[in-house]
C-alpha cells in the first residue's frame, strides 16, 4: 500500500504583496549549457547536492553536521547516537532561481514520504543565518527549522502540528559559535513576537473576532491550500510562543507530555494528562504577559566534536537534469494554483527526458522512469537498473518493488530485498518491503524485527508503521499493534488522504474486535 506525503514547509513571514506571475520557473542551468557545476557530497548523515562552489559546498556540509549535533545536544541528546536514515539536502546557489521554482511564501522546506526525506535550501551557507536586527544577537536560520522537523521525528513518535512547528521555530533561533563548540538555544524569535503579541492583545480587549490560541492548538491543515497566509503566520508565531513558554515556565509537565508522546500516547490524551492548562480560557492572558515581559531565558550548551569525513564528486549533466526533474516535481507539489502546477510538472518531465537522453542508465533517471512505467514494463526496467548499478542498495530495492508484478518470482524478490539491506543496512524502505512480503506469507515472526527496524529508521512513515502493526498482530501483540496503527493514522490525517484513513480505521477496528489479531496468552 502507498501513502500520501508529509510536508514541513517553512513559510516566510513576509508582506503579502504579490509580484507579477512568471510564465515559467527560472531554473539553474547545467554545466553543459554554460551553468555552474553540480557536486554531490556524502557524509555519514547527509547526501548534499548543490551548485555551490566547491569551497562553499564543503562549508555547507560542515554547517549541516554542526547544526545536527547542536540541535540534538540542545533538545534530544539521547538521539545523538541513534541510527537514522541519511538525509538528502539540495542547495540551489541562487535565491532568485529558488524563488522562480517554488511558491513565493516558501523560503526553504522539508519534505518526507515513505521513500525519502529531504531538505531544499537556497543561497550560500553564510546567508542561511540572519539576524533580526542590528540591536540583538538573536537570529533565525531556515536550516535549523527544517532540520528540526527531521530530527524531532526520532525522539517524538507523535507530534501535533503546533508542537512540530513550535519546536522548529524554537530551534530556528539556535546560534552556534564560530568554532562550533557551543550553541545558544532559546533566543527570542522577534518576527514571531511581532505577529503574536498584537493578536493576544486583541483577545484580551475582546476584539479578536473569534481568534484565540486555541486556533493554534487545533491547527487547520487547509489554511496553506487556501492561501490564508496571515492565519498561517499566526499559527507559526503562536506555536513558537507555546513551546518557548512551556520550556521555561512549565518544564516538568512539558517533559512529561513529550514522554507520553514518545510512548505513542495520543496527543489529546497526553495533553489532558499533563497540560490541561493549555485548554483553559486563561491561556491567552498567560502568554500575553509572558511575551510582554520579555523574560526570555537562553541557555548555552557544549556541542560535541563532529565527524568531518565525506566523499565529494562532480555530477555529469545527466545527473544534474535528473536532480532538476526532482526539484521541479517538488515545486508542482508545493504549488496550489494553476498555471504553476502544470508548468512545473512540464519542467519535471522535460528535465527527466533530457536526463534519459544523455544517460539512459543513470540511477536517478531510471528510478524516475520506473515510477512512471506501466506494470508490464516495470520488471524489465528494474532488472536493467540492477545490471547498470549492481553495487547500489537502491537499485536492488527498485527491482524488488518492480517484482510485485512477477508473482512467480517470490524467492528472487526476497533475495533482492536482502541484497539491498546487505549493501545498506539503513535502507528503511528495503526493510519495510521485505517485512511486508513476509507478513503476506504468514511469516510474522521473521517480519517483526525488520518492521521494527524500518520504523526506527523512518518513524514518520505511515507505511512502515502499518507494516509494524500487522507484524505485531501476527504475533499476538494486539495492543502494541493498535498503537502503531494510531500513529500511522496521525500522519494520514495530517496529509488529508481519506481512502487511506478509512483503511487504517478498518485495521484499528479489526485489532479492537479481535478479527485482525488474537492476543497471545500471558507467559508462565
Residue with cell 566534536: 305
| In the chain, % of residues over pLDDT 70 | 93
Long-range contacts of 194-198 (CB under 8 A, 24+ apart): 195/13, 195/233, 195/234, 195/236, 195/237, 196/234, 196/237, 196/238, 196/240, 196/241, 196/287, 196/291, 197/288, 197/291, 197/292
- Taking only the tens place, the pLDDT of each residue in 120-173 is 999 999 999 988 876 677 889 999 999 999 999 999 878 899 999 999 999 999
- Determine how many CB atoms are found less than 10 A away from the CB of residue 490: 19
159 domain-assigned: yes
130 domain-assigned: yes
Instruction: Please provide the average confidence, as pLDDT, over all residues in the chain.
Output: 89
Q: Quick check: 127 and 230 in contact, CB under 8 A?
A: no
416 domain-assigned: no
192 pLDDT band, cuts 50/70/90, is: very high
288 domain-assigned: yes
pLDDT score for 348:
92
150 domain-assigned: yes
- Taking only the tens place, the pLDDT of each residue in 298-342 is 999 999 998 878 999 999 999 999 999 999 999 998 888 888 899
Cα–Cα dist 55/46, whole Å: 17
The residue ranking higher by pLDDT, 98 or 23, is 98
Q: Quick check: 51 and 35 in contact, CB under 8 A?
A: yes
338 domain-assigned: no
Query: All 3 cell numbers of residue 352?
Result: 527527466
For position 253, which CATH number holds? 1.10.390
pTM of the full predicted structure? 0.87
For residue 263, is pLDDT > 70?
yes
Number of domains, the chain: 1
pLDDT score for 9:
37
For residue 451, is pLDDT > 90?
yes
Q: Which domain holds residue 297?
A: 7-12+30-302
365 domain-assigned: no
520 domain-assigned: no
Amino acid at each position: 500500500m502507498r501513502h500520501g506525503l508529509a510536508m514541513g514547509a517553512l513559510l516566510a513571514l513576509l508582506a503579502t504583496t504579490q509580484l507579477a506571475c512568471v510564465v515559467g520557473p527560472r531554473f539553474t542551468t547545467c554545466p553543459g549549457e554554460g551553468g555552474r557545476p553540480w557536486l554531490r557530497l556524502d557524509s555519514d548523515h547527509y547526501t548534499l547536492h548543490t551548485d555551490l562552489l566547491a569551497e562553499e559546498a564543503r562549508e555547507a556540509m560542515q554547517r549541516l553536521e554542526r547544526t545536527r549535533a547542536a540541535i540534538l545536544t540542545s533538545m534530544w541528546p539521547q538521539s545523538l547516537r541513534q541510527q537514522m536514515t541519511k538525509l538528502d539536502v539540495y542547495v540551489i546557489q541562487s535565491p532568485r532561481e529558488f524563488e522562480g521554482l517554488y511558491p513565493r511564501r516558501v523560503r526553504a522546506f522539508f519534505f518526507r514520504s515513505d521513500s525519502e526525506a529531504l531538505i531544499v535550501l537556497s543561497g550560500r551557507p553564510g546567508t542561511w543565518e540572519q539576524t533580526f536586527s542590528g540591536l540583538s544577537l538573536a537570529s533565525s536560520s531556515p536550516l535549523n527549522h527544517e532540520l528540526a522537523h527531521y530530527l524531532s521525528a526520532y525522539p517524538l513518535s507523535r507530534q501535533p502540528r503546533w508542537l512540530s512547528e513550535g519546536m522548529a521555530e524554537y530551534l530556528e533561533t539556535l546560534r552556534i559559535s564560530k568554532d562550533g563548540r557551543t550553541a545558544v538555544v532559546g533566543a527570542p524569535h522577534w518576527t514571531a513576537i511581532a505577529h503574536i503579541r498584537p493578536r493576544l492583545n486583541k483577545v484580551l480587549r475582546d476584539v479578536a473576532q473569534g481568534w484565540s490560541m486555541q486556533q493554534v492548538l487545533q491547527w487547520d491543515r487547509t489554511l496553506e491550500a487556501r492561501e490564508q497566509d496571515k492565519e498561517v503566520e499566526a499559527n507559526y508565531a503562536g506555536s513558537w510562543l507555546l513551546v518557548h513558554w512551556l520550556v521555561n515556565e512549565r518544564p516538568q509537565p512539558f517533559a512529561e507530555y513529550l514522554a507520553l508522546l514518545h510512548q505513542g500516547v495520543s496527543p489529546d490524551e497526553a495533553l489532558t494528562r499533563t497540560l490541561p492548562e493549555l485548554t483553559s480560557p486563561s491561556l491567552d492572558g498567560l502568554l500575553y504577559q509572558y511575551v510582554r515581559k520579555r523574560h526570555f531565558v537562553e541557555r548555552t550548551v557544549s556541542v560535541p566534536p563532529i565527524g568531518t569525513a565525506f566523499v565529494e564528486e562532480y555530477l555529469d549533466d545527466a545527473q544534474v537534469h535528473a536532480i532538476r526533474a526532482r526539484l521541479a516535481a517538488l515545486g508542482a507539489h508545493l504549488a496550489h494554483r494553476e498555471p504553476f502546477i502544470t508548468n512545473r510538472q512540464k519542467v519535471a518531465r522535460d528535465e527527466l527526458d533530457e536526463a534519459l537522453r544523455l544517460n539512459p542508465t543513470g540511477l536517478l533517471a531510471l528510478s524516475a522512469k520506473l515510477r512512471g512505467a506501466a506494470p508490464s514494463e516495470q520488471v524489465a526496467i528494474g532488472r536493467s537498473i540492477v545490471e547498470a548499478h549492481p553495487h547500489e542498495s537502491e537499485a536492488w530495492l527498485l527491482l524488488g518493488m518492480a517484482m510485485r508484478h512477477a508473482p512467480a518470482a517470490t524467492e528472487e524478490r526476497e533475495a533482492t530485498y536482502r541484497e539491498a539491506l546487505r549493501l545498506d543496512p539503513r535502507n528503511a524502505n528495503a526493510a519495510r518491503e521485505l517485512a511486508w512480503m513476509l507478513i503476506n506469507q504468514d511469516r510474522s515472526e521473521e517480519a517483526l524485527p525488520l518492521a521494527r527496524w524500518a520504523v526506527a529508521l523512518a518513524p514518520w512513515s505511515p507505511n512502515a508503521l502499518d507494516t509494524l502493526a500487522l507484524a505485531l498482530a501476527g504475533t499476538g501483540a494486539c495492543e502494541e499493534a493498535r498503537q502503531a496503527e494510531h500513529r500511522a493514522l496521525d500522519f494520514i490525517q495530517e496529509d488529508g488522504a481519506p481512502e487511506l484513513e478509512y483503511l487504517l480505521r478498518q485495521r484499528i477496528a479489526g485489532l479492537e474486535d479481535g478479527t485482525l489479531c488474537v492476543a497471545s496468552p500471558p507467559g508462565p
